[in-house]
Amino acid sequence: MTGPTLILDLAGFRENVRTLAAMVAPARTMLAVKADAYGHGAAEFATAALEGGADSLAVLEVPAGIRLREVGFTVPLFAWLHGRDTDFAAAITADIDLGVSSMVELERIAAAVRTAGSPASVHLKIDTGLHRNGASPEDWPALVSAARDAEREGLVRVVALWSHLADASPADDEAALAEFRAAVAVAAGLGVEPPLLHLAASSAGIREPEARLGLVRFGIAAYGISPFDDVDGRGLGLRPVMTFRAPVLALEDGVAVLAAGSGDGVAPVTAADGAAVLLEGVRRPVLGVDVDTMTVGVDATAGGRVTPGDVATVFGPGDDGEPTAEEWAAWAGTIGDEIVARASRRAARVIRR
Amino acid sequence: MAGIRRVARIDLEALASNLAGASASFLDARADAYGHNLALVGPVARDAGIVRVLVSDDRDAALASAAGLTPVVGRLAPPDVGDLAGAAAYGLESGGRPVMTLVGEVIAVKHVGAGAGVSYGYTYRTPAPTHLALVGLGYADGVPRIAGGRAHVAIDGRALPLVGRIAMDQFVVDCGDDPVGLGDEVALFGSGSVVPSAGEWAGWTTRDALAVTAGLGPRIHREARA
């Protein structure tokens, strides 16, 4: 072993999905497997998500959805971030549900329907304050009306109305929920009343039952990382899924060199920020992070015997005292999502089923 | 399969020029040439007089061999590296020509009033009515999340601030009174008018420039600059 290894607890992930799906039922669970399942591997984790009780998958963008279709996934797939070159005809042919935020997108999809030969299933998005995509409230009636007309022409099926929360504060999310309900009412007034409404992701799915509506789009919580800053994944009864390990390549003068670095996604932080790894039963301070390696202090007085070939746990579920991805996130001034999503594509992968 | 554009353009002329200036025969090409794509970099390095390359693993060793270079495989640099060309070769030191230009695209534009919260946690609120552009790159692509509120990007020759929190797949730029166009190219770092350097990103994200380029993710398509 000359490089890092990711150990992926697929069984734990499946259990997390089961826990979350049960929590929000009768609302349905859509599982986010975007960004290669947050760095965990889309196809494997999509399968486990469905086994755990999700009934649909959020893929972010059309090409990611098509890749899942190509390997045999038949469940509803949802893509909502589109570029100038996004191939909507291919999306429609692959039966991928499309998020629609603007008239431009709706028109492009309607044009693609004429190529694809079958109607597109669309989820109309209202911006409830996050100010990323989603139609602004002033543009919403026109978008809804155009979608209704396109539906009457047989070009689209409006299957859902949706939005995304900012998780800024309970009050802000409550205001966003009110805006969402207002947008739903506007749509109803225009004759558009699709069977599905969805708003919540992990955060509101867990803590704001009134936001669960018809479906919750769970993401990070299913990977065992908390969406909150006042409790970690384990505190929510979830199993952190990813373990990142790296062998000792060299040992000299109380410094061990580990085979993992920034090129593997290790955050560039040191013991001055709190950073440590678990090596031979002891948390060792991180001295530096280079592209392919990191150095840790192995002071003899700290206990444990370290020899080249020993394997350090950079982060994991925390069972044996190793840091969690969430601890690394705190040291690096970020969130656990970034720590796992950036984990190396060149690491060896071991999947625990 | 066409989707959201996320491209690292590799300027092979700049690489050749940097290597000519460095007069080294040994290139540090760990981590897939620090994210620059060894398959693109290798042949140009060989033509510029590079003989040996330091690579991280067997996959990259094979790429180096295919380019006619002698790979030295190992995460630990051997003690006898001598004149090893590194950051300077990639134009990541002052005076060098940047080899990589990272670009994304504007995937949404909207007008908002003053006081609009932007992205998770509403860490940024618009000081005045403005246009917000959504860009399809995020921390899953290796754009460090801590750059939110610190970095700027270039769109159509304008330097514009990256505002609010960077998300996994997207970030927001405050464009002011003049909107940008849907589909416009957004340059994060590299060459071009008012385009920041990877070194500036290094400063915004407390890491070195090689870590910025080496950290870019697999959704970013590497292509030779035309």
pLDDT at residue A248, rounded to an integer: 97
Task: List the end-to-end C-alpha distance of chain B, in Å, as a whole number.
Answer: 20
Q: Are residues A256 and A215 in the same domain?
A: no
Instruction: Supply the pLDDT for residue A344.
Output: 82
B9-38 confidence digits (pLDDT tens): 999 999 999 999 888 899 999 999 999 999
CATH number of the domain enclosing A347: 2.40.37.10
Q: Which of A223, A256, A289 is the last residue of a domain?
A: A223
Both A279 and A137 in a single domain?
A: no
- Both A205 and A304 in a single domain? no
Strand stretches in chain A, DSSP E: 5-9, 28-32, 56-60, 77-79, 96-100, 120-125, 156-162, 196-198, 215-218, 242-252, 255-258, 276-279, 282-289, 294-297, 311-315, 348-352
Contacts of A190 (CB under 8 A, 6+ apart): A141, A144, A145, A148
Q: Is the pLDDT of residue B77 over 80?
A: no
Adjacent-strand bridge partners of A197: A161
Q: Which residues in chain A have Cβ-Cβ distances shorter than 8 Å to B108?
A: 101-102, 132-133
State how far the Cα of A38 lies from the Cα of A45, in Å rounded to an integer: 10
Residue-level pLDDT at B226: 83
Q: Which of A348, A346, A334, A326 is nearest to B215 (CA)?
A: A346
Of the candidates B219, B7, B35, the one whose C-alpha atom is nearest the C-alpha of residue B105 is: B7
The answer as to whether A164 is a domain residue is: yes
Between chains, do A346 and B59 touch, taking CB under 8 Å as contact? yes
In this structure, the answer to whether residues A160 and A247 fall within a common structural domain is: no
Residues of B in contact with A167 (CB under 8 A): 120-121
Average pLDDT over residues B59-65: 96
A133-154 pLDDT tens trace: 999 999 999 999 999 999 999 9
Tens-place pLDDT, residues A5-25? 999 999 999 999 999 999 999
- The domain spanning residue A103 has which CATH number? 3.20.20.10
Q: How many domains does chain A have?
A: 2
pLDDT more than 70, % of chain A = 100
Whole-angstrom distance, CA of residue A24 vs CA of residue A210:
10
> Left if phi > 0, otherwise alpha if psi is -120 to 50, otherwise beta: which for A104?
alpha
pLDDT of B84 above 90: no
Confidence of residue A163 (pLDDT cuts 50, 70, 90): very high
CA distance A75 to A95: 10
The sign of the CA dihedral B153, B155, B157, B159 is negative
When pLDDT is averaged across residues B33-58 and rounded to a whole number, the result is: 96
**Per-domain boundaries in chain B:** 12-85, 100-224
Query: Who among B107, B170, B211 is closest to A268 (CB)?
Result: B211
Residue A216 lies in a domain: yes
CA A243 → CA A45, A229, A323, B35, distances in Å? 15, 21, 10, 24
B112 CB near a chain A CB, below 8 Å? yes
B117 at interface of A, judged by CB pairs closer than 8 A: yes
Q: Tell whether B61 is within 8 A of chain A (Cβ).
A: no
Distances from the Cα of A11 to the Cα of A17, A45, A240, A244, A353, angstroms: 10, 10, 11, 17, 5
Q: Print burial letters for B62-89: b (CB count within 10 Å at least 16), e (below 16).
A: ebbeebebebbbbbebeeeeeebbbbbb
Average pLDDT of chain A is: 97
Question: Which residues of chain A make contact with B115, given a CB cutoff of 8 A?
Answer: none
Residue among A187, A77, A202 at smallest CA distance from A124: A187
Residue B175's identity, in one-letter code, is: C
What is the per-residue pLDDT for A208?
96
Q: Which positions in chain B touch A255 (Cβ < 8 Å)?
A: none
Other C-beta atoms lying within 10 Å of the C-beta of residue A148: 17
Residue A310 distance to chain B (closest CA, Å): 16
Average pLDDT over residues A68-97: 98
Averaged over B82-110, what is the pLDDT?
93
Give yes or no for residue A312 having a pLDDT over 90: yes
pLDDT at B83 over 90: no
Measured in Å, how far apart are chain A's first and last C-alpha atoms?
A: 22
* Exposure of A346 in the CB half-sphere (CA atoms within 13 A): 29
Rounded Cα distance between B36 and B34, Å, is 6
Residues A82 and A144 reside in one and the same domain: yes
Tens-place pLDDT, residues B92-105: 998 889 999 999 99
Q: What is the pLDDT of residue A104?
A: 98
Instruction: Report the pLDDT value the prediction gives residue B76, as an integer from 0 to 100.
Output: 85
A269 to chain B, closest Cα gap in Å: 9
CATH 2.40.37.10: does it fit domain B100-224?
yes
pLDDT at A303: 83
Option in A38, A83, A292 nearest B3 (CB): A83
Q: Which pLDDT band, with edges at 50, 70 and 90, does A353 fall under?
A: very high
pLDDT digits over A97-114, tens only? 999 999 999 999 999 999
Say if the Cβ atoms of B139 and A345 lie within 8 Å: no
Domain ranges, residue A255: 242-352
* Shared domain check, A146 and A262: no
- The whole-number average pLDDT for the span B144-162 is 98
C-beta separation of B4 from B220 below 8 A? no
Task: Report the chain A residue with the minimal C-alpha distance to residue B173.
Answer: A132
Number of alpha carbons in the 13 Å side-chain half-sphere of residue A19: 18
Sign of CA dihedral B140, B144, B150, B153: negative
* Tens digits of residue pLDDT in A281-290: 999 999 999 9
Per-residue confidence band for A300, with pLDDT thresholds at 50, 70 and 90: confident
Closest CA in chain B for residue A129: B117
What's the pLDDT band for A226 if we cut at 50, 70, 90? very high
A1: confidence class by pLDDT, cuts 50, 70, 90: low
Residue A55 lies in a domain: yes
- Whole-angstrom Cα distance, residue B121 to residue A263? 29
Determine, yes or no, domain membership for A237.
Answer: no
Q: Is A117 helix (H, G, I), strand (E, B) or coil?
A: coil
- The model's pLDDT over B162-198, given as tens digits with 9 standing for 90+, comes to 999 999 999 999 999 999 999 999 999 999 999 999 9
